[in-house]
Structures are given as structure tokens and as C-alpha cells.
Structure 1
Amino acid sequence: MSEPRETELKLECDRLDLAALGGHPLLQGEGDGKEDAQGNGQGEPEAVLSTYFDTPDEALRAAGLTLRVRRRGEARLQTVKAEAGAAAAGLFDRPEWEVAITGDAPDPAAFADTPVPRILKDAKDATLEPRFTTVVMRTERTVPYGASRIRATLDEGRVETQAGDAALCELELELESGTPADLFALAQALAETVPLHLGALSKSERGFALRDGRLGLPSKAGSVALAEDASAGDAFRRIAMACLRHLRLNEAVFLASRDPEALHQIRVALRRLRSAFSLFKPVLAHDPRAASLAEAIKGATEPFGRARNLDVFLETTLPEERARRPDEPGLEELAARLATERDRAHETVSTILTSPEWRGLLLDLLAWLHTGPWLGEGAGPARDAPARDFAAAVLGRFRKRVRKRGRHLAKLDPEARHRVRIAGKKLRYGADFFASLFPDKTARKRHKAFSAALSDLQDHLGALNDLATAHAVMASLAEGPPGTAASGPAVFAAGLTAADNEARTRDLLAAADEAHGDLVDAKPFWR
């Protein structure tokens, strides 16, 4: 049986902007106030209550499924969706099964043709219980755009859990007929007048995150599941989408809290994304748009490095120096001075993340991933090659690069060490990206050892880079226009910190050299 699928673009905004979207000329479509065959309103706001169910040990969630019953007036609609691995920033393309039922509890007969019965059969306790609910005022319209028909859904409400509530304010664009290019073009046209951010969480993910106390916290990159028969092009798109999701999850956290870890994860997501462009260069070589997008991302986010460097200094370097020199009076002034600079740097990051240019760039990237020229007939053979073969070739090439650049690492100058670190990062991200393509027991064991050796090398090189960065931060204190440079005690404290850090360099170089040797000896998991 073929699986029915839902292709939906989720965008987030605030309440006032959602109200503006309600009156937007492009969203005044074919609605006449009547309902369609599924009971969906065509233009009039309507209360919608959705209850999400799972077993006591959440067997459905563990299997990547959600089960909900939606109440809309007198109508009840039961929906099963595949969630795990399907969602990325903005675009949700996933199997979906919907059946009208008569009650508020799940109807087993209505999910008989879905994966749910198999999961419940193996569950310790197959009882389905409510986990949380969403309550929204929903407005739906079907709008023509280009050669397509697109259902626009405006939701304003909240998700309710035992742990508390969270607001929901979303625009969803679902392709009913036509081409994905029209779906993205409509989103881009709307974003020109209304601030829209790519959505990263489905309603069910938001509900579980809120209930588990994870909503609003920074998140690390998740694993990327690649199908055994995936092509290199399939792999690139899935990896890039995962990077976008990682980015957007942490963007939202940083904008709400200025959390340094969220900023760090934003930069990790961006490095992973740019590494994906580099690793898949043969796949993208025939599309010049790839290089321009990668450069645009790099250029827009260069100021993020200054903010992160100040975070590291204030969160790590300075506390260590205070522990070494608890009686040094200049350290307090140094901390206050750099905290002010960090506030300015964080404000710069926030300004970029909320700018129309940045939001537009992410929408352009998402559209290009699904409709760009790299998907057309002019692409080279690398795009359609088996992802496993492509991955093995790429990982082998970057392993040789790290091995060659890292020879006699302890004797390299900082610039040469930096090149080793960059090549190592690309190899590390590639090892993470492609791990699922090599699932047998031996490959998994080798992957674990290889990743550990690579992580060890990166940790030591990263520590050396942090020392160099701290030195640059401290050197900047004595610079600047008259009246802005730091005072004597702060500069003196900065000098002491720099001297203490330099004393660590020799040990870190020796450790990095040893870690490089361990990496060279580690067996490649892709062979």
C-alpha cells in the first residue's frame, strides 16, 4: 500500500503579524465560508482542539509516530503521522493517515492500515492515553498561486500540557496540487511584507518538548538517517535540511534568552551546513547558485564569531584565571569591560537573525534545496551516484587531507594548525552525516573508535584555537579611540591571563600531536 503524504511548509510569526496575514491580498483565495468534504472551513475562523495520544511508555513516539484526535465542531478526525526524521526547518514531508471517526478517543479500526497496530502489539502496555492538547483558532483558505492550489492555514492558540502552556502562532502552506516551486514562491512573496521565520517544530514536537521541560533550551545536532538506497543528491538535501533545523531550533532560543550555548549551537549548525556544501561539491558543481548561497551564509554570519569568542572568554577563560589568581583586582574590571562588549556583540547577532535579509536567505536556501537547478537534467553523474559510494570516496579524501596537513603537528605555526582543524571538522561532520550508510556491526564499532579519535584531536586543536582567540580578545583591550581603551589594571590582568594561557600551549600541542597519530591509526569505518 502506498503511503498518503503531507507536504507542508510551516512558518512562524507573532500575533500581530498573523493578523496581518489574515488580510493579506495573496491569501484571499477561493473561500466562500463553506466546508469542504473533510469538514474544513473555507475562510471563517474556527476553534480546533487536538488531543495527542500515546501509550504510558510512549511507544508510538519512540517509533516516530504521532496519533491525534481533532475535534472541530461536531466533526472528529483521527490522524496518524510519521514524525521521526521527517521534519526539518520549515518543510514537513511525511506519511499521513486521516480518517473521520465518531468519538473523542482513538478508534482502532481507523488506524488498522497504519503502522500503529504493529507498535501497540509489541508495547508493554498498549493503553492509549492523552499526553497533551492543542487549542487554536484556525482560519483556512485555498488560494491559487502560479499553476498550483495551496491551502493556507493560520493558527493562533496554545499547546497545553501538565507542565504548562506555550503559545502557537503559525502559518502553514500545504500543496494541494501543482508544483513545490509555487509553494516556496508564495512563502517568499508573503515574507516580503510580513516577518516570517521557518518553523522547526511540529505541534506534537512542541507539546512533547514543553511537557519534558526542553522547550526553550539549546539543542545539539541530531543524527541524520539516510536510506540505504539514497543517492548522493538525496543525502545532501537531507543533511542540509537537518542543519537548517538545528539552526532554527537554536535561533529561537537565542533570540528569547541570549543563551551562549544557543549561540554556540547556531555556529555549529552553520559550520555543519557549510561543510555539507564543501563535502558535496561534486554534486553541486554544475549549479553556481550553490557557491553563492554558501558565500551569502558565510558573509552574513561572520559577526557571530566575535560574540562566541567573548562568550568563551567570559564563561571559560576568565573563571579559570580567577581560580588561579583570586586576589588579582584587575580581573573584575576586565570581566565588566568584556561583558559590555559581549552585550553589543549579542545585539549584533540578534539584529542579523531578525533581519529581512537573513529570513529571506533561509527561505531562498530551503526553496533551492527542493527546486534548484542542481536537481535538473544538467547535473553531473555525482548527484545520482549511490550515497554510500560517494560517502566512502569523500571520507577517504578528507582523511588523507587531515593526515597530510597534520604531520609534525607540534611544530606547525598557528595558521597551519588552523588548516588542520578546519579539515578535521569537515571530516568529523562527514563521519556524522554518513554514519547511517554503514550500519553493520564492524562499521559501527570502527565508527565509534574513529569518531573518538577525531573528537580528541578536535578538542585539543579547539583548545589551542581558544587560546589564540583569547589572546586576540585581550590585545584588543588596549586598542580603540581615545577614551575607549581599558584602564591599566584591566590591561595588566589581561596580560597575566595571556601569559598563563601561553604556558598551556606546549602541553596542548603535544596532546594534539598524539591525538593526530591515534586518528591516523584508526581504521576507516567506510571500508
Structure 2
Amino acid sequence: MLARAPAKAAPELELKFQLGAGALEALEGSLFPRAQAKVSQLHATYFDTPGHALRDNGFSLRVRRKDQTFTQTLKHRDGGALFERDEWETRVEGPGLDLDVLAGTPAATAIADAALAPAFTVEVERRIHVWSSDAAQIEVALDTGAVVAGERRDPIAELELELLAGPPQALFDLARRLMDVAPLTLAFESKAERGYRLVGHDGVAALKAQRTAVGPKTAVAPAFQVIMRGALVQAAGNADLLRRANNPDALHQLRVGLRRLRAGLSVFKAILDADGLNRFRAETRWLAGELSDARDIDVFLQKAAVRDEIEENDGRAAFFRALRIAQAEAYERAVDAVGSPRFRALLLDIAEWIEAGAWRRLDDMPQRRLREGPITVLAAPVLGQLDHRLRRRSRRFLEIDAAGRHDLRKQAKKLRYAAAFFAEVFTEHPKRRDRFVAALRALQDHLGELNDMAVSRSVALKAVGKRNGELAFAAGLEVGRLTEAEAAVMDAADRAFKAYRKVKPFWPSSEGRNEDLNLSGRRLNRA
């Protein structure tokens, strides 16, 4: 007799990897021979409301056929978790949904009275092995197939490691062993998420930052994890898109994800172990450097494309040909970086550090108290320090040189990211918060324009190289056109700073104005 109520299984703990070229053959040839695998053909239909209410509330709902058995599964990922999902599973009689079994699950509220219909399908061949050691037992699944939505298909080539028994560390240890054998890239997008992207016609659309689930009752340690997980998912997802195609939006959002990672490291510096902090600062800085030339050229070309009234000539045409060549070379460098073993190792290492790094075991009493205390204890001083520093250093903005303006821009970005991280922590003054964020956004827009102008000169110089004459002259003219409004933008930025200095902080001023947060002799405001 079939079960009539869904059984909530223990949360899954798994790692998922995209298989690079030759990875499947390498794994089957050395560790997981196909002849020893338990092979099955899986066909899953995913269901949702017309407005995708399930997806919007963090659920996925499918009916999977395996041989002649049909299983209905509801999954839920909550709180920004990377590797754990709640799951409700029940046997059903056929390929359609059994709505009665959903009544006792959290998804019932999201569905309400809306109709559920097929959204997309997933078709895979799964080869399962069980890896056993003295410490753990891990299911190893190799999936090949496709996500299908109408006429659109997205190929699947994945490895999943699911912990059946033993400590979570065993998953990461096995993952490292397998990465020595085959090119594997840690991935965070589920098959359901890939299906929704395909349904939305945005299979190659860049992944933007999602709102962080950090509230006033969240403790500092889980707040750090939630924020860093979100940034890591954004960076990893856009890196995958960049490997598929030279997508300027994916490149930009990858850089945003990296900046959010770096901002998180800075904001939470007081609770972090020095080795991890310094290592991941260095590694994210390396990756950002590998991406910067491509982004700078993209911006130059985007700005130049707006000026359709410019008359074309041989010199200008030659300059833009040189710029396109430089762009292709810069993208090759960026794609090589996100396809490198160094990047693959970075994803796994930082994910492990976020989940189970040494920072969680630091026994210094002030650090421990802060780590286990409410986020308000850290958030207000951090916001106050960043805000105080930006206000103080911007008072003579028109007298600051280009390098100083660039530094102010980075400070403004860090404050804006921190304000986004903690937007739901301080909820007493929502209008004040909105005004504060709007002032920062306007300020950042003007500082970004100034930075684009400064960078345009170096972009042109790199494209021209040692060549001179007509090409160099054309480059100079183009830079002149792009920077002709610099004085006006400077004035606009100065006005934006004055407007920003008039807005009130949205966090408690008695705490937020504290200049120092001392832990183990370290000053947070030097982060």
C-alpha cells in the first residue's frame, strides 16, 4: 500500500560538481568503473504554479520515475544553506501529482489555491557507487543527461557526493581526492534551479545578488555564513556562465560576487582566523585581477558605443580593431582563470572554510562571545566605523586626486555592501534606511563614472601599446570624448557626498558611532 503522507527525510548533506572535459572518463577509468555501478534511467517532471510560487519560496516539487516506481519529492533550501536541504518524499501511483500528500508540508501555504502544472523535465542516466572508508560512507552519483523545457535543452554532466554516514569533513576529503583525478568544479545550482532558468529564457542570464536572510535575532557566526554563502553562489554561478560564453553581464556579476566576498571578510574580520582571512583575501584579489582587464575594456566599449554621432575614420576604426583584439585576449585570460585548477580549489576551500573553518573553533574568549552573540553587537559598530570614515575622508572631495577618489569609491562600496548585508537587522527606521541606501547609490554612481574615466586612459594605452601616429591620435581623441564631462561629474559627486553626509544612519547611533571594536588587540576599522 502506498504511503499517503510525505515522510520528511533527514536533511541531505551533499556536494555537487560540474564535470569538466574528460572528467567522466577519468573517474570511471580510475575509481568508479561503469561495470560496477548501479545504473538507472531517471525521468523527473517538476511542477509549480503559473507564477512559480514554489520556486519563489525556496521549494522544488517533482515526480520522478525510476523503472516502474514513481516518487513525489518536495525539497526546500532555507537560510542560504549551501549543502543541506529539507526533503519530503512519498511514493505515488503514477506520473501525476498527489496533492493530498502536500497538505502536511510547508509548501501548502505557498501553493494556496493555485493550480500546479508541469514546468520542465529532467532526464538523466545515473551511475551510483558507494565509497566507504573507516570514517564515512558516501554515495557517489555520476549524472549525464539534460534539463528540457519545450524546445530548449541544457546538458547535464554532474558528480554528486552525498554523506550517508560519518563526519561532514569526509565529503571534502573525498572531493579533494577526486579533484586530483579529474577536472571538477564545485557547483551550487540544483537541477531544479537550472530548469527554472531555462523556463525563464534566461539560461545564460547573469546571477545577481539575492537578499540575505539575516535578521536581528541571527547570531554573528550564522550571519557570516549566510552572507558568504550568497556571495559564493553568485561568484560560482557567474563563473560557470563565463566559461560557456564571453558574457559581459556574467563577468560583471562575477566581480560583484567577489567584492561581496571580500566585503564579508572585512566586515566579519573580528571573528575570523588570520590564516583563512589572509588566504582568501589573497585568492579573491588574484581572481579579481585576472578579470579586471576584460571588464575595463567592456566598459570602455559600452561608453563609446553610446556616441553614435562620431564620424568614422581610418584611425578610429584601427583603434577599435586594436581594442577588440585586446578584449579577446582579456576574455581569454579571464576564462582561463575560472577554468583553472587554482579557481576550482578556491571554490572548494572557501566553501569548506565557511562551513567548518578554524574560525569556528577559535577559543579566544572575546572572539567566542562575539561569534555566539547577536548580529547587532557586530553590525552596528561596523556600520558606524565605515560610515564615520567615509564622511570624514570625503569632506574635501574636490581636492582629492584620482587615487584618493578610487579609495573613497572602494570605501563607499564596502559601506553599501555592509548596509545590504544588515538591511533587515535594524528595522526600526525603514524610511531612514531607504534614504541612506539611496544616497550611497547616487554617490557610487558618480564615483563609478569618475573611475571609468580614469580607467579609460589606461585601457587606451594598453590597446595602442608602443604604436604611435594615427592610431595613438585616434585613441587620444576617444579618451577625450569619454572624459570631457569629468569636471561636471566631479561637481555632481561632491554634491552627492554633501547629500550623503546629511542623511542619518539607520542603525542605533549610540552603538554605531563607536570607532573601535577591539578583539584580541585587533582594530576592526583597519579591515
Residue 58 of structure 1 is matched in structure 2 by 52
* 1:486 aligned to which of 456, 467, 471: 467
Summarize the Cα distance change of 1:146–1:375 in structure 2 as closer, same or farther, 3 Å threshold. Answer: farther
For residues 28-85 of structure 1, the C-alpha deviation after alignment (integer angstroms, 9 at most, x for no partner) is 7xx997xxxxxxxxx3211011111123333322322111111111222211111465
Contact 1:149 1:177 in 2 (8 A): yes
TM-score (norm 2): 0.89
User: What are the within-5 Å matches in structure 2 for residues 490-501 of structure 1?
Assistant: 490-501=471-482
TM-score (norm 1): 0.89
Question: Greater CA deviation, 509-518 or 51-60?
Answer: 51-60
* AA at the equivalent of 1:304: L
Residue 20 of structure 1 is matched in structure 2 by 26
Residue 293 of structure 2 is matched in structure 1 by 306
Q: CA deviation at 1:500?
A: 3.4
For the residue of structure 1 that corresponds to 2:492, the secondary structure is helix
C-alpha distance in 2, partners of 1:354/1:146? Answer: 33
Summarize the Cα distance change of 1:17–1:3 in structure 2 as closer, same or farther, 3 Å threshold. Answer: closer
C-alpha distance in 2, partners of 1:455/1:328? Answer: 38
* 1:449 aligned to which of 427, 435, 445: 435
C-alpha distance in 1, partners of 2:254/2:274? Answer: 26
Residue 36 of structure 1 is matched in structure 2 by none
C-alpha distance in 2, partners of 1:78/1:15? Answer: 33
Contact 2:12 2:86 in 1 (8 A): yes
For the residue of structure 2 that corresponds to 1:179, the secondary structure is coil
For the residue of structure 2 that corresponds to 1:435, the secondary structure is coil
Summarize the Cα distance change of 1:453–1:71 in structure 2 as closer, same or farther, 3 Å threshold. Answer: same
Q: CA deviation at 1:279?
A: 1.0
Summarize the Cα distance change of 1:277–1:214 in structure 2 as closer, same or farther, 3 Å threshold. Answer: same
Q: CA deviation at 1:228?
A: 4.2
C-alpha distance in 1, partners of 2:312/2:103? Answer: 71
Summarize the Cα distance change of 1:465–1:269 in structure 2 as closer, same or farther, 3 Å threshold. Answer: same
Q: CA deviation at 1:501?
A: 3.9
2:119 maps to 1:131: yes
Paired residue total: 499
User: What are the within-5 Å matches in structure 2 for residues 324-363 of structure 1?
Assistant: 325-363=310-348
2:260 maps to 1:272: yes
Q: CA deviation at 1:184?
A: 0.9
* 1:48 aligned to which of 36, 42, 53: 42
- Where does structure 1 lack aligned partners over 5 or more consecutive residues? 34-42, 480-484
Residue 157 of structure 1 is matched in structure 2 by 145
Q: CA deviation at 1:110?
A: 3.0
2:237 maps to 1:249: yes
Residue 408 of structure 1 is matched in structure 2 by 396
Q: CA deviation at 1:478?
A: 5.4
C-alpha distance in 2, partners of 1:222/1:517? Answer: 30
CA RMSD in angstroms comes to: 2.2
For residues 419-478 of structure 1, the C-alpha deviation after alignment (integer angstroms, 9 at most, x for no partner) is 21111010011111111223x4x5332222111110111111111111111112223455
Contact 1:163 1:213 in 2 (8 A): no
2:226 maps to 1:238: yes
* AA at the equivalent of 2:484: A
Summarize the Cα distance change of 1:159–1:84 in structure 2 as closer, same or farther, 3 Å threshold. Answer: farther
Residue 517 of structure 2 is matched in structure 1 by none
* 1:378 aligned to which of 350, 363, 367: 363
Q: CA deviation at 1:20?
A: 2.7
User: What are the within-5 Å matches in structure 2 for residues 81-480 of structure 1?
Assistant: 81-83=75-77, 86=80, 91-120=82-111, 122-123=112-113, 125=114, 127-145=115-133, 147-284=135-272, 286-316=273-303, 318-320=304-306, 322-323=307-308, 325-378=310-363, 380=367, 381-438=369-426, 440=427, 442-477=428-463, 479=465
For residues 288-309 of structure 1, the C-alpha deviation after alignment (integer angstroms, 9 at most, x for no partner) is 2221121122124313212211
Question: Greater CA deviation, 412-421 or 102-111?
Answer: 102-111
Summarize the Cα distance change of 1:499–1:187 in structure 2 as closer, same or farther, 3 Å threshold. Answer: same
Contact 1:163 1:211 in 2 (8 A): no
For the residue of structure 2 that corresponds to 1:415, the secondary structure is helix
C-alpha distance in 1, partners of 2:133/2:477? Answer: 64
Residue 11 of structure 1 is matched in structure 2 by 17
C-alpha distance in 2, partners of 1:387/1:399? Answer: 18
For the residue of structure 2 that corresponds to 1:142, the secondary structure is strand
C-alpha distance in 2, partners of 1:493/1:140? Answer: 61
* AA at the equivalent of 2:342: E
- Aligned-residue sequence identity (percent) comes to 35
* AA at the equivalent of 2:18: E
